[in-house]
Amino acid sequence: MNKPRHSLAEPEDNPLAILHPVDSSETETTFVSHEGETCTLCNVGPAFEFSMAFQPIVDVQAKRTFAYEALARGPNGESLNDILEKTLHHNHYAFDQRCREKAIETSARLGIVATGADLSINISPNAVYQPAHCLRRTFAAASLAGLPLNRLIFEVTEVEKVHSQEHLRNIMIEYRKHGLRVAIDDFGAGHSGLSLLSVFQPDIIKIDRALIQSLHERPASRSIVRSIVQICAELDIIIIAEGIEQEQEMQVLCDLNIYRMQGYFFAKPALEALPMWPPGQASAA
Ligand SMILES: [Ca+2]
């Protein structure tokens, strides 16, 4: 994968400098002006086809699908990494934009509005150049699809790779200003941990599967998750547990008062489809 290189000069003085691609013949990304109404950087490409898979995030207490996470896949369902590795000139910014639009368009076509479930979209903070600009096309797609903004969740991924916490904070503030909910993805993995919550409070955290795996057999993980539950209750943050593969894991999570869950135990991601959970039952609003 050939990502645009980023200038690391003086991020404190200019938070956007860290996200500004270095002009290089190695990439197709060139400098563009961000003055005015449109963000040219996001209008280029991507020059390859891709599609969307959806995985339910379930609420085992309410027995309904709480949201669908949109996951970019190759046109035939293949892993996206396979596609990106073959793509020499990859515009990270344009791809992120297109992913959001495609997630909204595809889920709307599949009937997400009627299910009552929310749509959860992954965003990489390093692919957000200027939070307000980057939202315009997302809003247009949501409006066209008839999906209210308060039914969109943005999962901030790769938090550990963000060069500036100020940039992350700006994204959160801007998104929440518009009634969008923000989730921290893979919470508890790498640097995406408790110290983040002292800087800003998201609406939702998704506890990484590394902490969830075999929870019933790992008392230390249970203690950590129990502490997270207590902190999130005080900060009014919703918890989603990721990567549930066994019934015992689900049971322990319920005992810890975590009811929103995602994982193969419930449903795998389905290409261009919204898998129903509980099976055979429409997700009621
Ligand atoms: Ca995610």
Ordered by start, the domain boundaries in the chain are 43-80+92-271
pLDDT at 10 over 90: no
Predicted pLDDT of residue 42: 58
- Please tell me whether the overall predicted TM-score, pTM, comes out greater than 0.95 for this model: no
54 CA distance to ligand 1 middle (Å): 11
| Residue, of 189 and 258, whose pLDDT is higher | 258
Rounded to an integer, the average pLDDT of 88-110 is 86
155 CA distance to ligand 1 middle (Å): 6
Predicted pLDDT of residue 282: 52
13 CA distance to ligand 1 middle (Å): 31
99 CA distance to ligand 1 middle (Å): 13
Predicted pLDDT of residue 76: 84
**Is the Cα torsion angle 270, 274, 277, 282 positive or negative in sign?**
negative
Rounded to an integer, the average pLDDT of 238-261 is 98
41 CA distance to ligand 1 middle (Å): 24
| Fold held by 43-80+92-271 | TIM Barrel (3.20.20)
Token pair for 274: 């919204």
How far apart CA 103 and CA 105 sit, in angstroms, is 6
88 CA distance to ligand 1 middle (Å): 25
Rounded to an integer, the average pLDDT of 9-36 is 34
34 CA distance to ligand 1 middle (Å): 28
Q: Is 65 exposed, middle or buried (0-12, 13-18, 19+ CB in 10 A)?
A: buried
